[in-house]
Amino acid sequence: MPSKVEKFRRILFWLFLAVATLLLGTVFITDEQWLSEIMLSAALYTSILVLWVCIFILPAMFFFNGTRDAAACITEFASFVFGLTLWFMGVKLTYAIVGPLMVLFGLLIFGVGCIPFAFFLTWYVSRWVDLEILSLLLVLCILCRTVTYIYFMNKARKEQEEAKSERFM
């Protein structure tokens, strides 16, 4: 039977996949792009809020033993928020710079092809602020994912060592 953390991770994955599908729909709804601009703005504000939570609340939660699992789950949630914002911003920038055909081509590359396209295109057309935001979101996503991975690997290793020591006693 899956643990609570595994259930949380599965629900989180499917939730963010549904949100990504809805966000993608906002890009292709209208040529005016007003809805997708509002959604991107909301995603960026949410990422900023999650970043503040990661800076001020999570270190204290990781310090205490009883709240470490919750802190790891929040960190994984943060990585999904940063990743979704990075992906949607990549889709929006690719759509704005080269059009919908390149977005469709980028989505055919495992769904994340618009991210490297956006990095290249923002560099190519000298949109430095957008390139900085994309880079920061990528670093934050990878950092949160790495912290979560290290925590759960250490926890699994400790559980295996405890189970081994109990067998030999």
pLDDT of residue 1: 36
Its pTM stands at 0.88
Q: What's the mean pLDDT in 49-73?
A: 92
Per-residue model confidence as pLDDT tens digits over 86-105: 999 999 999 989 988 888 88
Q: What's the mean pLDDT in 27-55?
A: 88
- 167 has pLDDT over 80: no
Provide DSSP, the chain: ---HHHHHHHHHHHHHHHHHHHHHHHHHH-SS-HHHHHHHHHHHHHHHHHHHHHHHTHHHHHHSGGGHHHHHHHHHHHHHHHHHHHHHHHHHHHHHHH-HHHHHHHHHTTTTTHHHHHHHHHHHTT-HHHHHHHHHHHHHHHHHHHHHHHHHHHHHHHHHHHHHHHHH-
Q: Calculate the average pLDDT of the chain.
A: 89
pLDDT of residue 126: 93
